[in-house]
Structure 1
């Protein structure tokens, strides 16, 4: 129930951003004539699956370059930082109970992919790369790097006549295991990225 409420909140926020984008009278350039576009964004999300058992939510930031390769198609390079906040887990055992403080997970994802605009302002994006676990010593993992993938949809709308824009996207991000012995070491979340582009 708690996850359903969080996902609903994210979906409503994205719907509001989509409505705001439709209210614009101009569109952002989806052609190669604008050259490379850069954006700086805030990332947030909520864990899904078994990853939700020990973590509450994540917050971070990212920088991205959109490099035009064809009309309406861009090659993307993205690097960022994500802090996933650990939960306090209550463990009941017999007549006593104890708590376990799950440490925050600190990730540095580096991804590349493609961004396609099927219609003005609306895009579909897919990225993959490597996610570096910066605090491996806080966990019982035997790997500090995992494969990361992130399909995303979003809207991009102008905020000035000079080509600056807002980029708002919703994505699912997942990794392979950080521990060979545990499927629970996969990182999975539904997230949003709200960025300012120029």
Structure 2
């Protein structure tokens, strides 16, 4: 939990420094995201690789997500994200010779997204991941706290439409009480179609 707090504090501090530095310069209208005058919606595919101890039992992650970016200031958005992740078990998980059961999660997150440069953004989110097959994978908790720092770029494809490509690290607290090996941590790529609503 201490490392979670440290990472969260670093993301918030980085966002604050970026905002402070940006406030000292004039803002060009070209440094806006898709639909920056209104809500931006996106639907994406998520794929990732487990990290830490999880990588000994799981090969990769696949899923999808929906996200809404709500403008609150120039180049700053509040994000709301919900999705589905399925971590695919290895056939020789943790050297046991057994196949690990896929972990199925429903992550729900909220956070901030800031554009310090044209189409480039930094994003930090936190929330909860709900285990959809808790008993099958041996979890004693139905949910865990998650955090996800991310960087990305929005590629214009015409009008208010963009391809949003982001890379993130997503980490969790324990799904099994007092067992840090039950954390679900992974690096992921999100490739989404985003469009402004106004």
Q: Tell me, yes or no, if structure 1 residue 172 matches structure 2 residue 175.
A: no
The residue that corresponds to 2:59 in the other structure is 56
Q: Does 1:119 align with 2:117?
A: yes
Partner of residue 78, structure 1 = 81
1:185 equivalent in alignment to 2:188: no
The equivalent of 2:3 in structure 1 is: none
Q: CA deviation at 1:140?
A: 2.0
Equivalent positions of 1:67-146 (< 5 A) are: 67-89=70-92, 99-146=97-144
Higher strand share: 1
Cα contact 1:28–1:157 (8 A) shared by 2: no
3-state SS of paired residue (1:57):
strand
Structure 1 residues 76-105: Cα deviation after superposition (integer angstroms, max 9, x where no partner)? 00000000000111788xxxxx72110000
After superposition, the Cα gap between the structure-2 partners of 1:115 and 1:33, relative to the gap in structure 1 and judged at 3 Å, is: closer
Higher alpha-carbon Rg: 1
Alpha carbons of structure 1 residues 38 and 129: separation in structure 2 relative to 1, 3 Å: same
Query: CA contact under 8 A between 1:167 and 1:197: conserved in structure 2?
Result: yes
Match of 2:69 in 1: 66
Query: RMSD in angstroms over aligned alpha carbons?
Result: 2.0
TM-score by length of 2: 0.80
Per-residue deviation, 1:137: 1.2
Contact 1:75 1:114 in 2 (8 A): yes
Structure 2 counterpart of 1:45: 48
Separation in structure 2 between the aligned mates of residue 63 and residue 87 of structure 1, nearest angstrom: 28
Distance 1:33 1:99 in 2: 52
- Matches of 1:110 and 1:172 in 2, distance apart? 15
Please say if residues 85 and 106 of structure 2, whose CA atoms lie closer than 8 Å, have aligned partners that are also in contact: yes
Structure 2: runs of 5 or more not aligned: 1-29
User: How many Å separate the matches in 2 of 1:60 and 1:68?
Assistant: 26
Over 3 Å counting, the alpha-carbon distance change for 1:103 and 1:70 in structure 2 is same
For residues 91 and 63 of structure 1, do their structure 2 counterparts lie closer, same or farther at Cα, with a shift above 3 Å needed?
A: closer
Distance 1:56 1:159, change over 3 A: same
Q: Distance in 1 between matches of 2:94 and 2:85?
A: 27
State how far apart, in whole Å, the 1-side matches of 2:194 and 2:128 are.
Answer: 24
Tell me the equivalent position of 1:6.
none
In the TM superposition, what is the alpha-carbon distance from 1:30 to its structure 2 partner? 3.2
